[in-house]
Amino acid sequence: MCRCWWLAEARSRGQATLGYRDGAAQDPLPADAIYRIYSMTKPITSAVAMMLVEEGRLQIFDPVAKYLPEFGQMKVGTEKPSGGEGKPTLELSAPARPMTIQDLLRHTSGLTYAEFGKGMVHDLYKEAAVGSYGQNNAQFAATIAKMPLRFSPGTRWEYGRSTDVLGRVIEVIEGKPLGEVLAARVFKPLGMTDTEFHLPESKLKRAVSPKMAGYYDMGQKYAFEGGGEGLTSTMEDYLKFCVMLLGNGTANGKRLLGSQTVSWMTADHLGTIPGFFPGQGFGLGFAVRTRSGEAGIPGSVGEYGWAGYAGTLFWIDPSKDLIAIYMANIAGEVRGTPRNQFRSMLKAALID
């Protein structure tokens, strides 16, 4: 149940569709299938945040607490061994500096995901049900602000709920639900007619395994509009977003972002901050290739992109005028294998 597409030099160079829309029903996978894109939501939310920066309504070095005051009280939680057979304790201390919007964009905030690690802070996230789909974005922000930080902001990279918090910041600035903001600023201008947080019943027949175990039910309307994980989309829609990025913020004569802003977003913002993968850095919403060596996959310096929890992937290589997108919703730990194979096979086939 996957579809892949690669576009170079402003024209389609190849695409393939494999599998079923619903494995249990053995329905063929349609070309306009709708997928859970999970963390491929993050670049879209980040792009909207940068539109607000361009308008002077947000700055990347602003403290998050300027927009969400509860974040000004957060403490760093450090596990301390008991010295005996007893359980470790969690020592709370003030962070070295406030969490900023840049920290949210590049994942250096100190926020984490409950499911992507082990420790006392992760356990507290689980107990508080951080990211529950039953909470709206304001409730989510209030809940996560009560959690300890994993580390002082700006000291290391760790994947977490930073972009979900960024989504709430956008709501506060705009005075509207995140879904409405994304629709007005990105989906409508680019003609992304099948990208949304709440899939209408009329589109369920195109949804890929809408009730797949381990993933959210695409037929449900949830209160949470996660800026880091909640969108559903199609191959064609996400391609439109990527074409805008490759076009330095412009697509079909419509400018969504300035070219300097896109360059700023797709540059490495980590520098010497540790925690991310070798040969790569992280920009304002994307992983960015910084060296041709060291990384576990081939690639060009300057290419950028991201992936989604259910198996999706995209990357953009400006040096080759290339966009590559892989869409799949696959259950279990094997979900990352096919997309990695797609990446390796496509890169091996490229001829400069």
DSSP of 224-279, one letter per residue? ---TTT--EE-HHHHHHHHHHHHTTTEETTEESS-HHHHHHHTS---TT--SS-TT
Give the count of beta carbons closer than 10 Å to the beta carbon of residue 17: 16
What is the pLDDT, as a whole number, of residue 29? 82
Distance from C-alpha of 196 to C-alpha of 181, rounded to nearest angstrom: 11
Q: Which domains does the chain have, with CATH numbers?
A: 2-53+175-349 (3.40.710.10), 58-172 (1.20.58)
Per-residue pLDDT in tens (0 to 9) along the chain, 352 residues: 456 666 665 555 556 555 555 555 567 788 899 999 999 999 999 999 999 999 999 999 999 999 999 999 999 999 998 766 778 899 999 999 999 999 999 999 999 999 999 999 999 999 999 999 999 999 999 999 999 999 999 999 999 999 999 999 999 999 999 999 999 999 999 999 999 999 999 999 999 887 778 888 999 999 999 999 999 999 999 999 999 999 999 998 999 999 999 999 999 999 999 999 999 999 999 999 999 888 777 889 999 999 999 999 999 999 999 999 999 888 777 676 777 777 777 777 775 5
The long-range contacts involving 208-211, CB below 8 angstroms and separated by at least 24 positions, are 208/1, 208/21, 208/22, 208/29, 208/33, 208/34, 208/35, 208/36, 208/328, 208/329, 209/1, 209/21, 209/22, 209/23, 209/24, 209/329, 209/331, 210/22
What is the pLDDT, as a whole number, of residue 1? 47
